[in-house]
Amino acid sequence: MAVDRRDLLIGAGAALAPLSAAAREERKRPAPPGFLWGAAISAYQSEGGNTNSDAWLMENMRPSMFKERSGDACDSYHRYAEDFAIAGGLGFNCYRLGVEWARIEPSEGYFSEAELDHYARMLETCRARGLKPMVTLNHFTTPLWFAKRGGFEAPDAPALFARYCRKTVERLGCLMHMTTTFNEANIRLLVDLMPGVQQAIPAVKAAVAAAAKATDSPRFSRLAYADPRVVSPIMQEAHRRAYDAIKDVRPNLPVGLTLTTQDIQSAGDPDLVAVYQRRLYGDWVEVARSHADFFGVQTYTRFIVDETGVRPPPPGAELTLAGYEFYPQALANTIRWAHAAVGKPIYVTENGVATRDDARRIAFIDQALAGVRQCLDGGVPVHSYLYWSLLDNFEWTSGYGVPFGLVAVDRQTFKRTPRPSAAHLGRIARANLI
C-alpha cells in the first residue's frame, strides 16, 4: 500500500502524535467501575448449519447476493466452550453473543425446549469462564416461516417478535447480564446511504423473487432487502413491545438498543451532518430514549458527505478489507454523538477492523481506545469496549474474505489461533486501563 504508516498515525489526532508508546501508557488510567471488556459475535455468523433461517435460503439458491455459503461457519454451535475459554483466558470479562430465533421457534408458535436448553448450557458455560453474557435476540436473521409471511413488513410482526423475546427471556433471562433486541436496528437506513445502492437494486429484486418462488410465498421478505419506509416503523413497534415484554418477565434485566453509528463528516456545508444523521438514524433515537436502558454504539469508519451523497474515501486513504476507510477516530465522535442525542449509558458493543495485517488491528484498537479515554475525560458515561469480532466468521454477502477476528479460524479443521492483537487487547483488559 502506498500510504506511509507514519502519515496514517498523524490522523489519530495531534494530541497523540508527539507521544511515545511509553508516554501514552502513562496517560492511561483505570476504567470506570464495572467496565466491560470483551468481544462480540453473532449466532448465525459463527454457529453454522442454520438451515431454518431466511439467510440460509438466500445464500444457498441462485441468483444469490452471497459470494459464498456459510456452511459450518466456525462451528461455534458445537465449539462454544472453546470460544469462551479463549475469551476468558485472554482476560475479558464480557462476551456479546446471540441466540437464533430460527432455532428457538422453528415453526410459528412452536418453541423448541431442546434449543432453549442448548442456549442455557451456552450461557452457563460463558458465565463459568468469568464472562458476563450480553445477549442479542435478533442479529439480522429470522426464521424462514417468518420471512415467508412477510417478515418485518407484516403488520403483526411486532406481536410475533415480542412473543419470541418473552419466551426466550423467560427461559434464559436469569443467565443474561444484559440483552438487546435488534442488532443495528437501522441497518436498512445505512444500506440506502451506501454508494452503489441503485446499481444493486435489480440483483436484489431478482434474489428476493427467486426466494419467493422457491418458498411459494409472494410476501417473502428479508430485512436486508426490505423497504425501510415499511420496516422501520414496524421494527420500532416490535422493539417497544419486546422491551415491555422482557421487563414484564425480568424487570431488573437491562434491555438496550444498538444502532450502526458511523461518524458522519461534511465535506462542505456543516448543516449536512444533521441531514445525513437523520437519514441514518430516522426515528430510532426517539425509540432509544423511551425504550432502552442503555445504548450500543457500533462504529467502524466515517462517512464524508456532500450534497450528492456519501463520497468515496479521500485519495490515498488506507482501506480495510471491508472496503471502507481505516479510521479508528470515528469511535470517539460517535460516542459523543450518542451521549448528546440519546442521553443513556453508552456501551461500545462493536468496533473493529478487517485486515490481514495484525499490526494494523493493534493500531486500530489503540487509537479507538484513546478516543474512549478522551470521552471519559469529557464526562461521557462509557461502560464497555467490545471488539468485533472474537473469530474470523461469516461476513454475510462478503463471505469469509474479510477477517475481523482477534482469532483466526481454519476453514477445514476449525482450529482457533489467537493473533497477537488478541493478547494485546487481553493485556489491556487485565490491566483495566484506558
Beta strand segments in 30-130, E: 36-40, 94-98
Look at residues 16, 118, 145, 39 and name the one whose alpha carbon lies nearest to residue 86.
39
Q: Are 126 and 95 in contact (CB under 8 A)?
A: yes
Look at residues 168, 165, 142, 169 and name the one whose alpha carbon lies nearest to residue 154.
142
Look at residues 133, 122, 235 and name the one whose alpha carbon lies nearest to residue 181.
235
CA distance 287 to 300: 23
Torsion of CA 210, 213, 216, 222, to 10 degrees: 20
Q: Are 151 and 108 in contact (CB under 8 A)?
A: no
Identify the H or E element spanning 75: none
**Which residues are marked as active site?**
184
Residue 393, Cβ density class (10 Å: 0-12 exposed, 13-18 middle, ≥19 buried): buried
Identify the H or E element spanning 300: none
The DSSP bridge pattern shows strands 255-260 and 132-138 to be unpaired
Q: Are 193 and 279 in contact (CB under 8 A)?
A: yes
Identify the H or E element spanning 263: strand 263-266
User: What are the φ and ψ backbone dihedral angles of 276, each rounded to 5 degrees?
Assistant: -75, -30
CA distance 134 to 180: 8
Residues 6+ apart with CB under 8 A from 60: 69
C-alpha separations of 42 from 72, 86, 225, 338, 350 in Å? 14, 17, 19, 23, 11
> What does the DSSP assignment read for 178-247?
EEEEESSTTHHHHHHHSTTHHHHHHHHHHHHHHHHHHTT-TT---GGGS-HHHHHHHHHHHHHHHHHHHH
Write down the residue that cell numbers 450502526 correspond to.
Answer: 260
